[in-house]
Structure 1
Amino acid sequence: MDWNLLACARHHLTYAPDEPELREHLCVATVDGSAWRCLRCGDFVPGAPRASGPADEAPVPLRGQLLRDAVVLRALAVERLLRGLLLLLGAYGVWRLRGALPAVRAEFDQDLPLLQPLADRLHWDLADSPLVHLARTALQTRPLTLGWIAAALCGYGLLQLVEATGLWLLRRWGEYLTAVATAVFIPLEVYELVERVTWVRVAALLINIGAVVFLVYRKRLFGARGGRAAYDAERHQASLLRVTRAAT
């Protein structure tokens, strides 16, 4: 199976170039009318072309390296989507805690001693438990502070969803936004890693560094490898080459 042609199962990529010498080789007459050649798979498809214009502005099929780039970007988009949903869920939980803080604090103080027999059987020091300490700290936080935390989590979650949308649609603004937003938080992740080394933190740091390097180098962001001019020239050259090959 040629996975490069998977998109043709949904729709073919037909294009009518403005250049007459190319246009006449991409269109044939059939009993059902004109049929245009797909730039992706090479089949002739009855009906009007999906787009038209100069040959060097033709859409470039996602094949080879472009397809691999798209797979990486959409994998990052899925990761950003899951992270954004978790952040929004956390923001909702913090906001609910803010509204019921006195009741939750009272329930915690009342029910915590009930866990002592179980903790004794498990040889768990309940008094010095980091989890219990974290819960006490959260319950002692002022409602105003919890409100700001919920707002920050909500804003960061929405940012992750916007990044996921831009990456999934393969938009250049999504690549820039992801590169900037990811690079900004790398120093914080390094600081957390210095405080305490865990596999989760190491993996998250490596993924984020790899994402920034990939976006900047492969997508030519921030002037790397010629910047936007070289990126557009590469796309136009690939478009012209694809149309010329299909016409010949």
Structure 2
Amino acid sequence: MNWELLSCGLRGHETYAPAESDLAARLHVSTPAGESWRCLRCGTFVPGDPRRSGPADHAPEVPRGRLLRDLVIMRLLAAERFIRGLFLLAAGIVIIGLRSSQQSLRDKFDAEMPLLRPLADQIGWNIDDSKMVQWIERSFTLSSTTIVLIGIAVIVYAASQFVEAGGLWFMQRWGEYFAVIVTSLFLPIEIYELTERVTVVRIALLAVNIAAVVWLIWSKRLFGVRGGGAAYHAEHHSESLLTVERAAVTE
């Protein structure tokens, strides 16, 4: 998979005309189709005027290679957080909506339980000791105020997922810190859930979150790791000029 060509196909080529004549000469050719400029991302000569121009050190940072792979990973994490936020938002709205219908739901639940017992016996499910059934029964005893507070807490958590998704999608430094802090806060809860019941989904979610925290801290140099913010900004400050130089010398 050529991620550079794929990205150019989706977003368009990133051509740049540097003010430095030596670099400009190496990024520019004349063809029968007209003047062409080399894409800073994939290295292909693209007919037409450059998309941008200016000093080489002001060139846009165009992710390629490792940086492009980092961008893809960040976008995948952002998408996962956004989808999770949608589910949490829907759950919070449903929970708040239950505050005025507890009695009717309890009546329906009590009416359906005798019908579920024969099926549960057939599949070997001890319905009386089921934690899910016990949780549902306990929920009927909660006050309307408690239900609303639980719903609001779930919605706030959903909002944090949306904020995290936005920060990761646009590769913001604060978003990376926010993602690590919020994800780390909920790791003990996910580990505790595994002590109650081990499922493939719970293991997968825990593995994804641990991997995300470790990867973000290491690759983004968070909390002073690998030189911290100074090394991170120095690396990215020089990236635009290096992008131009790499594109200029691409064979």
Same fold, TM-score > 0.5, yes or no: yes
Q: Is the 8 A contact 1:77 1:164 kept in 2?
A: yes
1:11 offset after TM fit, Å? 0.8
- Residue range with higher mean Cα deviation, 91-100 or 237-246: 237-246
State the SS of the aligned residue for 1:115: helix
Q: Does the C-alpha gap of structure 1 residues 108 and 163 become closer, same or farther in structure 2, counting only changes over 3 Å?
A: same
Please tell me whether the aligned partners of residues 75 and 169 of structure 2 are also in contact (alpha carbons under 8 angstroms): yes
Amino acid at match of 1:101: Q
- Structure 1 residue runs of 5 or longer lacking an equivalent are none
Is this contact kept in 1: 2:3–2:68, CA < 8 A?
no
Return closer, same or farther for 1:57/1:220 CA change in 2, 3 Å cut-off. farther
Alignment-mate amino acid for residue 204 of structure 1 = L
Please say which of residues 124-133 and 217-226 is displaced more in the overlay: 124-133
Deviation at 1:60, TM superposition (A): 3.4
**C-alpha distance in 2 between matches for 1:188 and 1:18:** 55
TM-score, normalisation: structure 1 = 0.85
**Residue 120 (structure 1) shift:** 4.8
CA RMSD of aligned residues (A): 2.6
Q: Which residue of 2 aligns with 1:76?
A: 77
Distance 1:121 1:189, change over 3 A: closer
Partner of 1:56: 57
- Distance in 1, matches of 2:124 and 2:40, equals 68
Identify if the C-alpha distance between structure 1 residues 193 and 173 changes in structure 2 by more than 3 Å, giving closer, same or farther. Answer: same
SS at match of 1:127: helix
Mapped pair 1:91 → 2:101: no
| C-alpha distance in structure 2 between counterparts of 1:199 and 1:121, whole Å | 24
Q: Which residue identity does 2:73 align to in structure 1?
A: V
- Partner of residue 232, structure 2: 231
Tell me, yes or no, if the aligned pair for 2:222 and 2:229 is still in contact at 8 Å.
yes
Shift of 1:223: 2.3
Q: Tell me, yes or no, if the aligned pair for 2:15 and 2:39 is still in contact at 8 Å.
A: yes
Which one-letter code corresponds to 1:98 in the other structure? R
User: How has the CA–CA distance of structure 1 residues 38 and 128 changed in structure 2, closer, same or farther, with 3 Å as cutoff?
Assistant: closer
Residue 173 (structure 1) aligns with: 174
Aligned residue in 1 for 2:6: 6
Partners of 1:197 and 1:111 in 2: how far apart?
A: 28
- Residue 45 of structure 2 is matched in structure 1 by 44
Partner SS, residue 36 of structure 1: strand
**Number of aligned positions between the proteins:** 248
Distance 2:208 2:197 in 1: 18
Distance 1:173 1:240 in 2: 25
- 1:164 paired residue number: 165
Unaligned runs of 5+ in 2: none
Structure-2 separation of matches of 1:199 and 1:122: 20
Contact 2:56–2:241, Cα closer than 8 Å, also in 1: yes
For 1:114, the equivalent position in structure 2 comes to 115
Q: Whole-Å Cα distance in 2 between the matches of residues 28 and 120 of structure 1?
A: 77
Inter-partner Cα distance in structure 1 for 2:43 and 2:96: 55
- Does the 8 Å CA contact 1:57/1:236 hold for their aligned counterparts? no
Deviation per CA, 1:41-89, whole angstroms, max 9, x where unpaired?
A: 2333344433334323423333221122122212212221221121112
Task: Note the alpha carbon deviations across 1:96-147, whole angstroms, 9 max, x for none.
Answer: 2223222112222233233344445555444333332121011221111111
SS of alignment partner, residue 211 of structure 1:
helix
- Give the letter aligned to residue 112 of structure 2: D
* Deviation readout 1:135-164 (Å, 9 max, x if unpaired): 101122111111111111111112112222
Judged with a 3 Å threshold, the aligned counterparts in structure 2 of structure 1 residues 231 and 112 are, in CA distance, closer, same or farther, namely same
Structure 1 equivalent of residue 221 of structure 2? 220
Separation in 1, partners of 2:87, 2:105: 22
AA at the equivalent of 1:177: F
Going from structure 1 to structure 2, the CA distance change for 1:129 and 1:230 (only over 3 Å counts) comes to: closer
Say if 2:35 and 2:47, in contact at 8 Å, map to a contact too: yes
Give me the whole-angstrom Cα distance separating, in 2, the residues matched to 1:217 and 1:119: 48
Letter in structure 1 aligned against 2:2:
D
